[in-house]
Structure 1
Amino acid sequence: MKVIGYIRVSTKSQGESGLGLKAQTEYLERAAQQNGWELVTTYIDSGVSGSIALEDRPEGGKAFQHAKVEGLEIVVAKLDRLSRDVEHIAGLMKRVKFRVCTMPHATPFELHLFAALAEQERAFIRARTKEALASLQSNADGGDEEALQKVANRAEYLSYGRTAANREKAQAAISQRVSSFHASIEPHLQACLYKGVSTLAGVADCLNAKRVTTSRGGEWSPIQVSRAMKALNLSF
């Protein structure tokens, strides 16, 4: 049976699935050998998001038209190489036949079911990531640079479907908020140090006595003082 291979790679998708160009090529070649398929040609989209419809991709559109004109099936390494949207996959099934290397004998119903389950799992992951991001944001209370970096890293997972510009704006807003907070507490920290306080616990007590709160309105702890002083380049 003659088939058409299709490969999609992008920086984001490779990080999530571990399927780069070489890996997908090996999947296609192995599946063709095991199932007696003849790969007529392989279309490759590089740097293309899975959220874009197959027909609208540079090479995906060619693969789609080739399959329709010659009545061939499209073969992909994994289902998400075709699309991450269950509705789009369901629509594709009505217009062109395709197979997945990891489950070459799956029926259209089974493929639709797998697509729905994958979409649900991504929704669960996004929900869990939001919770983790909220927790990390709380830990960034005192301006901890490590915590802030973790927030930025987690934010990448929440940026699915957003533009790079929007991600940069979100991260810039976080940095600006932390910088403004540090600027507001610096005079109070300087005053505590000027009084001769020489321990982190002592500075925390000094700030709490002055009723200077953390960015979340709570009391200071030694570790929060350490983070704030480090960010402001202050020392005893």
Structure 2
Amino acid sequence: MNGGPGVIRYVTYKRVSTEDQGKSGLGLEAQERDIRIYLDTYSPEPWQVVADVVEIESGANSDRPELWRAVDLAKRSRATLLVAKLDRLSRKVSLIATLMDDPKLTLRVASMPHADKFQLHIYAALAEQEREFISLRTKAALREAKARGQKLGGLRDATMKRNAVLKANADARASKLDGIVRPLREANASLRDIADALNSAGVETPRGGRWHAASVGRLLDRLGV
């Protein structure tokens, strides 16, 4: 697709870390899929990808040469920096805030196609709080298991430890959504209505997918609603 007046230009940025590459929803193919969905569904036409930048680096590391190269390319070519998910930019709110505060940079996140910079900043802050809470809850769950006399060693105990971590993480994610789904359920909203509300708000399931009546039902059961 040739560039020219009226063409919407994009610089796409994809990031994986060594530990991410084998995880569903975080690999390069998944990010490419989400970016393609955005371009085909939400982008004004005609559009052009002027550069595709890939980086292998931890999301907690601010030393990201390829990210800064992508930012520079986007600004110099008056293009929009497009990423699949917000955490592909960084898991640090401070770094994301730096990018969003740059008046010369336009940023779009494929999985949240209608979100503006202000909304993305709020989402990043909430995600950081959630990670901190999950870490604290995981440590608390392990302390409780140890207090009950469970030795966290060996194959069986390693499984118990992993299960405690998974439960703590699931409880933390559910708690984050309690303020949204509980009022809807108390107002007699159906499971499908709640799923539609979560999807419309851009809230993903723990596995990064869309909500359905069954997944909402499991969430409500965990919350005891």
Short-chain TM bin: 0.5 to 0.7
RMSD, aligned CA: 2.8
Give the structure 1 partner of residue 32 of structure 2: 25
Q: How does 1:191-230 map to 2 (within 5 A)?
A: none
CA distance in 1, matches of 2:17, 2:37: 22
Flag the structure with higher helix content. Answer: 1
Give the structure 1 partner of residue 15 of structure 2: 8
Q: Secondary structure at the match of 1:118?
A: helix
1:2 touches 1:39 (CA, 8 Å); kept in 2? yes
2:9 touches 2:78 (CA, 8 Å); kept in 1? no
Give the structure 2 partner of residue 68 of structure 1: 75
Note the residue ranges of structure 2 that are not aligned, 5 or more in a row: 1-7, 166-225
Deviation string, structure 1 residues 159-179 (Cα, Å, up to 9, x no partner) = xxxxxxxxxxxxxxxxxxxxx
1:27 touches 1:101 (CA, 8 Å); kept in 2? yes
CA distance in 1, matches of 2:18, 2:30: 14
Give the structure 1 partner of residue 97 of structure 2: 90
Give the structure 2 partner of residue 108 of structure 1: 117
Give the structure 2 partner of residue 42 of structure 1: 52
Deviation string, structure 1 residues 100-121 (Cα, Å, up to 9, x no partner) = 0011221111111111111111
- The structural deviation recorded for 1:92 is 0.8
1:74 touches 1:99 (CA, 8 Å); kept in 2? yes
CA distance in 1, matches of 2:123, 2:108: 13
Answering whether residue 142 of structure 2 is matched by residue 133 of structure 1, we say yes
Aligned length: 153
Q: Secondary structure at the match of 1:12?
A: coil
Identity %: 43
2:25 touches 2:31 (CA, 8 Å); kept in 1? no
User: Could you state the TM-score of these two structures normalised by the residue count of structure 2?
Assistant: 0.59
CA distance in 2, matches of 1:21, 1:77: 10
Instruction: Please tell me the residue identity of whatever aligns with 1:21.
Output: L
Note the residue ranges of structure 1 that are not aligned, 5 or more in a row: 156-236
User: Could you state the TM-score of these two structures normalised by the residue count of structure 1?
Assistant: 0.57
From the CA coordinates, give the structure whose radius of gyration is larger: 1
Answering whether residue 61 of structure 2 is matched by residue 52 of structure 1, we say yes
Give the structure 2 partner of residue 169 of structure 1: none
- The structural deviation recorded for 1:74 is 0.6
Which deviates further from its counterpart, 121-130 or 33-42? Answer: 33-42
Cα pair distance change 1:33/1:74, threshold 3 Å: same
Answering whether residue 128 of structure 2 is matched by residue 119 of structure 1, we say yes
2:90 touches 2:96 (CA, 8 Å); kept in 1? yes
Instruction: Please tell me the residue identity of whatever aligns with 1:111.
Output: L
2:146 touches 2:152 (CA, 8 Å); kept in 1? no
